[in-house]
Amino acid sequence: MLDAIREHTQGWLAKVILAAITIPFALVGIDSYLRQAGSNVPIAKVGEDTVSVQEYGSALQNLRNQLISEGKTDPSVIEKPEVKQSVLDHLITNHLLSQEIKRAKFIISDDQLSQYIIALPDFQENGKFSQKVYDELLASNHLTPSKFEAKMRADLLAQQARQGLARLSYMPQPLLEQTLKTEHQQREVTTAEIKTNDFVSQVKIDPAEVTAYYEKHKESFRVPEQVKLEFVLMSVTSLIPGIQVSEDEVKKYYEDNASKFQGDEQRRASHILITFGVNPTPEAKAAAKKKAEDILAQIKKNPKSFEELAKKYSQDPGSAEKGGDLGLFGRGAMVKPFEDTVYAMAPGTVSDLVESEFGYHIIKLTEISGHAQDYDTAKAQIKADIIYQKALDKFAEQAENFNNLAYEQSTSLKPVADAFGLQVQPTGWLSRADGAKFFKSDKFINSVFSDEVLKEHRNTEAVEVSPNNLISARVVDYKPAAPRTFDEVKGGIEDYLKLEKAAQLAAKAGDAALASLQQGKEVASLEWIPSVTVDRKDAQGLTDLAMSNLFKINTSKLPAYAGLVDGNKGYLLVKVIKVNDTAATDDAGKKAQELELKSALASEYVAAYVSSLKAKTKIEVNQQLLNAGTLNN
């Protein structure tokens, strides 16, 4: 039971996908999901519902974004088939739960929905819900309140169903305590290996055995079909040498993106604000400006009077009583005219009048902390960034023309190479597997082995084999699949048969050694490793084979032994010397362990429930779409 629970709840993949998909309360990517989910193109049918290609692609992108933002896992794992399948499985589960929720008539009231949204950290400001933050955040994600609230209601309904099932999980206290005792048990162990290689010299293989094996397994010795290709590659990096960037462009980028180069620099300033109101008349602005000029004149006569004059005249209620002090702030915190002035000042100086949408400011810079990246330091990186961005833009402009020309001039790659200043490159012989590994694109290799390219000798379509790298290829030569001759493989067959028979001898010797050990006899030829104390989570260097069987060994009598056949490697003997029960004895530790186990058991209940829904629902998956490579959102 523990192994089954652990399988459902402890894999890194399950945790990542659950975090990214089945807890869908983060705003990132919801807009893409909502905008795309309406497509009728299905990657899976779940009863009367469908999982569209766009919904699936959006879920993959959300997962990729989360992995990148957390920096915990290489985002390329998303391209693995098992990850894609798991993402689709979770989407199918969501649809199954949604159907069951409708059938069971689950309800989330408007008040429950409102209280949940109000409590979301995303919409908090100073510890309270902010309608302004709510509106701005939804707008930035291209969401209307009705769409967002509908999505939240659906998520809460799914959560309600899951939590209701989890509460049904129950384990009697005696069984709970015994399970925890077993789960947290430690065992002191040593192992000894009887190696297959030590028996190889004892094996003799009759040539007739080799011939018979070849005839029986001839199909397994087939050489797969192979091609020789020539190809052209257009990439962003190949465009970079031709890109020019002027000094003025670099300076403008630095000025327009000053916040990027702020580093940890912050500035502290005080100000005196004289407002002129919303939609002021010329007379109101003139009066406010005259008043601000009079105050500035007083400050110039007596700079030390700034704080006193701020308390007396400033119309900014938040800072006036503090002598105009605004505290430390970075770029982006203040309106642009104010920020531009502050970041051009030296500490201790007072500005002239600065007009903003709020009125006229008199600013005093009091402190600079931290360090920003100055222009001379940043300009090399800025220039490189601009060059790369220009190369990306040029690549995007040329990509369609590259594809069109490869298609229109499909009998040769020379026109494409000449048009874009590229080189036609050759390959050696490549099987499908070799090609997929070399070009890192199943889509490209499937195109190479298509009838149009292979038999009609046409160029492949332009395929983006990796970000910003386009390839078109044509087949120069082809070898169909064919079996290897007996002479080519007989040496390998003989070695394999020797190893197989040697493994049988090792297993026989291992069984004999195990029988002696279980009778209390020593086996002098065994070399036991230094003992280690392991638990279910810490293998201390033991192999997976040892760990998967170690806690199954009956330890009613110690030392206890087990013998394990390790494929053609040999035979592994495991000796349990001592058993330690390490379940927590203090109340806090017990409660923590019980909570962990109950949570795992609840997850198992939910998994079993979902399995039952799958069993009674017709589910069809379009494997061709699922295996077609990365899907565009």
Is the pLDDT at 245 greater than 80, yes or no?
yes
Binned at pLDDT 50, 70 and 90, residue 61 comes out as confident
Pairing state of beta strands 425-426 and 226-235? antiparallel
Tell whether 253 is covered by a domain: no
The answer to whether residue 205 sits within a structural domain is no
Pair (238, 288) in one structural domain: no
DSSP class of 350? B
The span from the CA of 492 to the CA of 448, in Å, is: 32
Q: Please write the tens of the pLDDT for every residue from 486-545.
A: 888 999 999 999 999 999 999 999 999 999 999 999 998 999 999 999 988 888 889 999
List the one residue out of 432, 434, 426, 436 whose CA is nearest residue 463: 436
Give domain status of residue 176, yes or no.
no
| 150 lies in the same domain as 44 | yes
Do 512 and 558 sit in the same domain of this protein? yes
CATH code of 421's domain:
3.10.50
Bridge partner list, 578: 188
Do you find a cis peptide bond into 145, omega within 30 degrees of 0?
no
Q: Domains in the chain: how many in total?
A: 4
Q: Does some domain include residue 366?
A: yes
Q: How far apart are CA 467 and CA 367, in angstroms?
A: 45
Which of 372, 397, 416 delimits the end of a domain?
A: 372
Rg of the chain in Å (alpha carbons): 35
Name the more confident of 626 and 560. 560
Look at residue 274 in the predicted model and tell me its pLDDT.
94
Are 476 and 533 part of one and the same domain?
no
Residues 159 and 93 in one domain: yes
Q: What is the mean pLDDT of residues 32-45?
A: 53
Same-domain check for residues 146 and 17: yes
In a domain, 67, yes or no: yes
> Is residue 207 a part of any domain in this protein?
no
Is the same domain home to 120 and 235? Answer: no
Shared domain for 366 and 384, answered yes or no, is no
CATH number for position 122:
1.10.4030.10
Q: Which of 302, 330, 311, 331 is nearest to 270 (CA)?
A: 311
In a shared domain, residues 336 and 350: yes
Domain boundary residue, one of 356, 372, 388: 372
Residue 497 counted as domain residue: yes
Rounded CA-CA distance 170/151 in Å is 32
Q: Determine the structural domain holding residue 415 and report its residue range.
A: 226-242+378-480
Of the candidates 308, 342, 372, which is a domain's last residue? 372
Same domain, 153 and 37: yes
Q: Are residues 20 and 164 in the same domain?
A: yes
141/134 Cα distance (integer angstroms): 11
How far is CA 448 from each of CA 6, 229, 472, 481, 631, rounded to the nearest angstrom? 43, 9, 9, 16, 20
pTM confidence score: 0.41
For the stretch 553-589, pLDDT in tens is 998 899 999 999 998 899 999 999 998 876 555 566 5
Residue 26 belongs to a domain: yes
